[in-house]
Structure 1
Amino acid sequence: MFATLAQAGTSTDNVLAHGSRDGATLAWVISAATPSGWTRDCCTYAHAIGVDAVLYRGEWSGKPQRVMVLNVTPRKLPTLTAEVQADRKRYLQHDPAGKVSGIVVRNPTMPCEASVYQGSDHVDDVVVFCDPGQASGVQLSWSMAFDAADPSRRTLLDDFMRVVVATHYAPDAGASLPHGR
C-alpha cells in the first residue's frame, strides 16, 4: 500500500520527552523535530492519556485521529522484529478482517519498523517501533490513527514519517532536563 522511504538528520536540541532512571533502565531523552503547524505536548494531554508525548494540529479534540503519539516503555521482547510481530498478532486478533502492510523507515540513529493497519472500522493506524539498543532498557513507538477516507491522509503520513525519522534517543546522564521541555 505505502512505499515510503524517509530520511532525516538528527537533533538532540528538540527535547520532546524525558524519563527518569527506573531500576536497570537508564534515564532517557527523546528529541524530535515538530512539523510546522503541529503542537507538542508532554504534560497536559499526553499525561492525561498515559503516554510520553503527543503532537496534534489545531485544537485538542480528544479523539485519537490525527494525533501522533510517542510511547516509551520498558523493553519486553528481545528484538525489534519480535515487538512488531507481537503487535501485528494482537491487532489481527482484535480485528481479523483488518489488513497489515509495512512501511520502510530509515531513522539514521536507530532501527525502526513500521506497520499500517487498515481496520474494518474504517480507521487506519500507523505504528512504528524503534529500538534504541539493549542497554537502554526501553523500546519506543510512534503511532497515529486517521480515518481511511481522510483527504489529508498522505500529508498526515508524510508529517508522521518526518517526525519518526527525526526522532533521537539519548541516555540522560544528567537527568536534570524538565520533562518535555
Structure 2
Amino acid sequence: MPRMRVMLALLLFAGTVAAAPPADDVLARGARDGAVPAWTIAVATPPGWTRDCCTYARAIGVDAVLYRGEWTGKPQRVMVLNVWPRKLPTMAAELQADHKRYLQLDPAGKVSGFAVRHRSMICEATVYQGSDHIDDVLVFCDPGKDSGIRLSWSMTVDANDPQRRALLDDFMRVVVATRYAPARPAGARGG
C-alpha cells in the first residue's frame, strides 16, 4: 500500500527533523483582536517555493501560502497557513471537529493521525485519504493559551503524484520550523 508507506515516512520524518535556526522570516502577522494579542508566524521558505501572504493567500482567504512554480489556483501542491482565534477548549476538540467535517464531505475517506515533534508548540497531524485519490495532510498547532490562537498548515497532494515524497518532506520541514511570536507593539525595539 503506497499510502501507508507515505504515512510511515511522514511519521519517521516528523520525529527526526530538527527545527530551523531562528531567523526573521515572518510570513504572516495578526493584529490585536480583543483578548488575542498581536502575533507573527515565521518560517524559512524551502528552496524553490514562493511565499505569499498578500496576493493569492488573501484572495483565497488564508493567512499565507507557499507554492512551487507558477500559481495555478488549484489546491494541489500548495502549503496553506491558517491562523484563527482559539474557540474550542482543546486542540483535541479542534481535531475531532475537523475529522467530523471531513467524513461528512467524504464518508468513504480514511482518517489517520500522528503527533508531530515541534520544539515550542503542541502539533498533531492528520492525513485524509480521499476516495477521489486526492489526499490532504493537515497539521494543527497550539502555540499556548496566552497566544489566544491556533494555527494549521495543510497541503493537498494527488495520491499518485510522482513528487509526493519530496513535497511532503518540504511540508514537514516547514511545519516543524514554524515559529509563533507575540508581535511587538509599534515602535518597540528589541534589546
Q: Say whether the fold is shared (TM-score over 0.5).
A: yes
Match of 2:95 in 1: 84
- Which of 134, 138, 163 is the matching residue for 1:123? 134
Matched, 1:134 2:123: no
Match of 1:154 in 2: 165
- The alpha-carbon distance between structure 1 residues 7 and 100, as it changes in their structure 2 partners (threshold 3 A), is farther
Structure showing the higher helix proportion among its residues: 2
Q: Following the alignment from structure 1 to structure 2, what is the Cα–Cα distance between the partners of residues 51 and 112? A: 19
Q: Does 45-54 or 93-102 show the bigger shift? A: 93-102
- Which of 75, 79, 101 is the matching residue for 2:112? 101
Residue identity opposite 1:62 in structure 2: G
The alignment covers a number of residue pairs equal to 177
Identity value in percent: 71
Q: Following the alignment from structure 1 to structure 2, what is the Cα–Cα distance between the partners of residues 125 and 92? A: 13
Cα deviation 1:91-139 (Å, max 9, x = unaligned): 1111110011123311111110000000011110000000011111110
Cα deviation 1:60-98 (Å, max 9, x = unaligned): 000000000000001111111111111111111111100
Superposition pairs for residues 1-181 of structure 1, below 5 Å?
1=4, 2-3=7-8, 4=11, 5=15, 6-175=17-186
SS at 1:68's partner residue?
strand
Q: Following the alignment from structure 1 to structure 2, what is the Cα–Cα distance between the partners of residues 176 and 146? A: 42
Q: Does 121-130 or 102-111 show the bigger shift? A: 102-111
Q: Following the alignment from structure 2 to structure 1, what is the Cα–Cα distance between the partners of residues 81 and 116? A: 16
What's the CA shift for 1:12?
4.5
With normalisation by structure 2, the TM-score equals: 0.88
Q: Does 154-163 or 84-93 show the bigger shift? A: 84-93
**Which consecutive unaligned segments of at least 5 residues does structure 2 have?**
none
Name the Cα RMSD after superposition.
Answer: 1.5
With normalisation by structure 1, the TM-score equals: 0.93
What's the CA shift for 1:157?
0.6
Q: Following the alignment from structure 1 to structure 2, what is the Cα–Cα distance between the partners of residues 175 and 99? A: 46
